[in-house]
Amino acid sequence: MVSEYSEPAADDTSAMALKILVAGGFGVGKTTLVGAVSEIRPLRTEEMLSEAGQLVDDTDGVDQKVTTTVAMDFGRITIRSGLSLYLFGTPGQDRFWFLWDELSQGALGAVVLADTRRLEDCFPAVDYFEHRHIPFVVAVNCFVGARSYGAHDVSRALDLDQGTPVVLCDARDRDSGKEVLIRLIEYAGRMHTARLLDSVG
């Protein structure tokens, strides 16, 4: 069911708005993160899981999940005066990947959410952003009962490019999610500056 959301106010036009993607595997917490940090009522395109979907969606480890995002989630958060982020949560299933190219147009960067119980589920998102040179951070969503791993261990397991940030987070917590987004902005800023200097060097 699609929820209503508020349009940006007229006085927001002078502010800088950056587009951020929130990606990752099925059931990793993308909708939860967008909803937790958004200062507006988030737009959601979730539908109930169907019996037909059980044939293509791997629900091992997320047995209690009853809905899935079929297009995108959308939210907005103001980081500071004059700087807002528009968050686009991507669908996690392979059959909706045709939406990713459209959603990634103009994005500053991405958050790849990871679940250490199903770490392999975020490989496609990592590969997608690496191949398109879109800056991203890996945010390990710390689920209750999941074995704890350090950022270095996760980085090695995912074979990330050197310097790609890995942070631990709780997708349900607004402050935790905001810290992830700030890390992404800082990292993406460094990456874009380095590319700009390379292009004029």
Give pLDDT tens digits for 139-189.
Answer: 999 988 888 899 999 999 999 999 999 999 999 999 999 999 999 999 999
Give pLDDT tens digits for 25-77.
Answer: 988 999 999 999 999 988 866 555 445 444 444 545 545 544 554 457 899 99
What does the pLDDT average to over 9-23?
Answer: 77
As given in the structure block, the two tokens for residue 35 are 């909803």
The CA-atom distances, in angstroms, between 70 and each of 3, 53, 122 are 14, 11, 18
pTM: 0.80
What count of Cα atoms within 13 Å lies in the side-chain half-sphere of residue 58?
11
Give the residue with greater pLDDT, 133 vs 26.
133
- The pLDDT, as a whole number, for residue 127 is 95
Give pLDDT tens digits for 173-184.
Answer: 999 999 999 999
What does the pLDDT average to over 128-138?
Answer: 96
SS3 190: helix
Give pLDDT tens digits for 74-132.
Answer: 999 998 899 999 999 988 766 667 788 989 999 999 999 999 999 999 999 999 999 99
- The pLDDT, as a whole number, for residue 200 is 84
Max CA distance (Å), the chain: 56
- Torsion angle defined by CA atoms of residues 32, 34, 36 and 39, in that order, rounded to the nearest 10 degrees: -150
